[in-house]
Amino acid sequence: MSRSQAQTSARASRQWLAAQSREVRGWLSLAIAAGVIGGLATLAQLGLMAWLISAVVVHDTALVMLWPYAVALAGAVIVRGLAQWLQETSGMEAGLRVKADVRAQVLDQLAALGPVHLAERHSAGSTAQLVDQVEALEGYIARYVPQATLAVVLPLIFLGVAFSLDWLAASFFLIAAPLIPLFMALIGMGAQRLNEQQFQAMTRLAGHFLDRVRGLTTLQMFGRTRQATEEVTAVADDYRRRNMKTLRVAFLSSAVLEFFASVSIAVIAIYIGFGLLGYIQFGPADQLTLFSGLFLLFMAPDFFQPLRLLAQHYHDRASALGAAEGLRTLLSQTPPQGPRMESLDSELDDTLPLRARLTDVSVAHAGRGRVLGPLDLDIADGEVVALVGPSGTGKSTLLQVLAGFVDAEAGEVALRTETRVAWLDQRPFLMQGTLAENLRLVAPDANDDRLREALSAAQLGDLLSALPEGLDTSLGERGLGLSGGQASRLALARVFLSDAPLVLLDEPTASLDPDSEQRVIEGLTQLAAQGRTLVIATHHPAVMGMADRVLRLEAGQLHAHEVPASSEALS
């Protein structure tokens, strides 16, 4: 990415974040108001403390005579505590609301983009985006945004008071103050770029670790666990090096601030001391009293405190910008349009009504070139079509085009109006939860009897009757406890429960034993008998045997129809 591109994208990320914080304006305003009240209470507290010292030490007033001041002092401390509580809780509320809102946007977008776009990313990475990157926004909204205003308003109020006490001392604050945002901006720019890199490194780190743990059995078999352990440590160490680069810069901004705060306190203390001694003959120094001197000194740390807090929250900003970059990119992707819905009425009355029509369709994948087409295909209503051909020739892609997961690069894909689609692939989706919950996903209102019917139609009746807890049996993620064949048939049961007229199946019988395969085919035959249209990508002769039409795909091209290979299936 060139420098100007990087700047443009950083600006877009900032704008995106600003738009998110506008949604919670009310809470942020409350946080800022509370912060200002807290600042004023602090000012009152410090002034009263200086006043008490001065009254007792210089004017020899007895402390008991000053009790109203002491009461006011206690009041100021209490207001300060309450205001701090209010500022934190309102800021937090704003942060929580933004997170909920952005997560909803991301879910919407993921739903629109569909599974094929996701397959190009590591699903752990996408999960991290939905979970962690959104979490990264909270600190920015809750703490950084209110503090960014307070860091301007509060020092100005303090400065005003300081000016009324001694303009020369106040100008020591002033000399340091404008330098601070300048330094922070310079440092912030570098830190942000580094932070983005760090974010990528973090995603890679998480992905790498997860991947190697997932494959531990394989690593053990190949005797590579030691090597992998070293690799894990090395990747984590690389993460540390990248991180330290960011931090060296990020901490510099707080160090600059720290330096100015410390030096200002020192300069003011020395100026006031010399002024009080009468060593300074110019300016307002001869007006200094113990009260004004102490008040100025007390004020000095609190003058810088809002800025120091801002610097502390600066990494919240950097993380949020890093996250915003990723989230914005995701949210700005154009989702596939999916097939067009048309009446697909045939001009000639004697042909079957069509369910789907592909006209001159071709599909290309980034990095793999054209994977499908150009091809024409009409699928009649109620037809069973088997797609065969060597692996990697576009069978899955054709199904994905029909499902609307991928858009055709050229040509036109049309489904008959109101065609709902059911999908079944080699990795059946199993949710953590009971068997019934997994089925009811598709048909929330189905009663237990319908679920049982669907299970037996999918040839899972035996399993169900063998389960002591029946439909309430829990399933682990990826169907822990279910064999591959059983998981496929569970997914098939879902198809039975849905009333989708078009069913797309990607190798539904891969890695099943002949017995399971036969059961799945019986299930599919039942589906076809219900009048549904089935498009099945397969290698298995038995599946081809049940098809009305077998189409051969080679290098993305459809080839002449073959006779159903039922004779082969018997061999």
Backbone phi, psi, residue 445, to 5°: -95, 0
> At closest approach, how far in Å is the CB of 375 from another protein?
18
Q: Which of 450, 388, 322, 226 is nearest to 9 (CA)?
A: 322
Which span (18-26, 124-132, 326-334, 447-455) binds another protein, by CB under 8 A? 124-132
**CA 389: distance to chain centroid?**
39
> What is the residue type of 243?
N
Three-class SS of residue 560?
A: strand
> At closest approach, how far in Å is the CB of 161 from another protein?
17
Q: Which of 363, 445, 439, 443 is nearest to 405 (CA)?
A: 363
Query: For residues 101 and 20, what is the distance between their CA atoms, to the nearest angstrom?
Result: 9
Letters for 20-49 (x = contact with another protein by CB under 8 A, - = none) are -------------------------x---x
* Residue 179 vs 236, nearer CB to another protein: 236
> At closest approach, how far in Å is the CB of 233 from another protein?
4
Among 179, 270, 555, 563, binds another protein (CB under 8 A): 270
Query: For residues 153 and 147, what is the distance between their CA atoms, to the nearest angstrom?
Result: 10
* Residue 140 vs 405, nearer CB to another protein: 405
Which span (180-188, 455-463, 473-481, 555-563) binds another protein, by CB under 8 A? 473-481
* Residue 218 vs 566, nearer CB to another protein: 218
How many alpha carbons fall within 13 Å on the CB side of residue 348? 3
Backbone phi, psi, residue 25, to 5°: -45, -45
Binding to another protein in span 233-262, by CB under 8 A: 233, 236-237, 239-240, 243-244, 247-248, 251-252, 254-255, 258-259, 262
Rounded to 5°, the CA angle 124-125-131 comes to 85
Q: Which of 465, 466, 514, 459 is nearest to 488 (CA)?
A: 459
Which span (185-193, 291-299, 343-351, 454-462) binds another protein, by CB under 8 A? 291-299
Contact 373, 556 (CB under 8 A): yes
> At closest approach, how far in Å is the CB of 499 from another protein?
10
Q: Is 467 in the site for another protein (CB under 8 A)?
A: no
Helix/strand/coil (H/E/C) assignment for every residue in 400-435: HHHHCCCCCCEEEEEEECCCCEEEECCCCCCCCEEH
Q: Which of 271, 31, 19 is nearest to 153 (CA)?
A: 31
Which span (202-210, 326-334, 340-348, 524-532) binds another protein, by CB under 8 A? 202-210
* Residue 309 vs 344, nearer CB to another protein: 309
Among 93, 196, 316, 383, binds another protein (CB under 8 A): 93
Q: Given strand 340-342, what is the order of strands in its sheet?
A: 340-342, 410-416, 354-365, 369-380
Query: For residues 517 and 511, what is the distance between their CA atoms, to the nearest angstrom?
Result: 9
Letters for 402-441 (x = contact with another protein by CB under 8 A, - = none) are -x-x--------------xxxxxxxxxx-xx--------x
Among 12, 44, 174, 206, binds another protein (CB under 8 A): 206
β-strands 433-434, 474-475: how paired?
antiparallel
Buried b (16+ CB within 10 A) or exposed e, 345-354: eeeeeeeeeb
Which span (113-121, 153-161, 169-177, 376-384) binds another protein, by CB under 8 A? 113-121
Among 357, 416, 452, 494, binds another protein (CB under 8 A): 494
Structure tokens at 550: 């077998």
Query: For residues 440 and 446, what is the distance between their CA atoms, to the nearest angstrom?
Result: 7
Q: Which residue has the tokens 């591959």?
A: 484
Q: Is 532 in the site for another protein (CB under 8 A)?
A: no
* Residue 223 vs 347, nearer CB to another protein: 223
Among 213, 341, 352, 563, binds another protein (CB under 8 A): 213
The CA-based dihedral angle spanning residues 271, 261, 174, 152, taken in that order and rounded to the nearest 10 degrees: -150
Among 265, 330, 363, 387, binds another protein (CB under 8 A): 265
> At closest approach, how far in Å is the CB of 305 from another protein?
10
Three-class SS of residue 373?
A: strand
Q: DSSP secondary structure string, 305-354?
A: HHHHHHHHTHHHHHHHHHHHHHHHHHHHSPPP--PEEE----SSTTSPPE
Among 29, 84, 473, 557, binds another protein (CB under 8 A): 84
Binding to another protein in span 139-198, by CB under 8 A: none
Q: Is 388 in the site for another protein (CB under 8 A)?
A: yes
Which span (8-16, 20-28, 80-88, 454-462) binds another protein, by CB under 8 A? 80-88
Q: Is 127 in the site for another protein (CB under 8 A)?
A: yes
* Residue 12 vs 267, nearer CB to another protein: 267
Which span (120-128, 339-347, 350-358, 523-531) binds another protein, by CB under 8 A? 120-128
**CA 436: distance to chain centroid?**
30
* Residue 10 vs 467, nearer CB to another protein: 467
> At closest approach, how far in Å is the CB of 111 from another protein?
5
Tell me the number of residues near another protein by CB under 8 A.
153
Q: Is 335 in the site for another protein (CB under 8 A)?
A: no
Q: Is 78 in the site for another protein (CB under 8 A)?
A: yes
* Residue 376 vs 568, nearer CB to another protein: 568
* Residue 5 vs 468, nearer CB to another protein: 468
Query: For residues 159 and 303, what is the distance between their CA atoms, to the nearest angstrom?
Result: 8
Among 36, 40, 122, 436, binds another protein (CB under 8 A): 122
Q: Is 491 in the site for another protein (CB under 8 A)?
A: yes
> At closest approach, how far in Å is the CB of 419 from another protein?
11
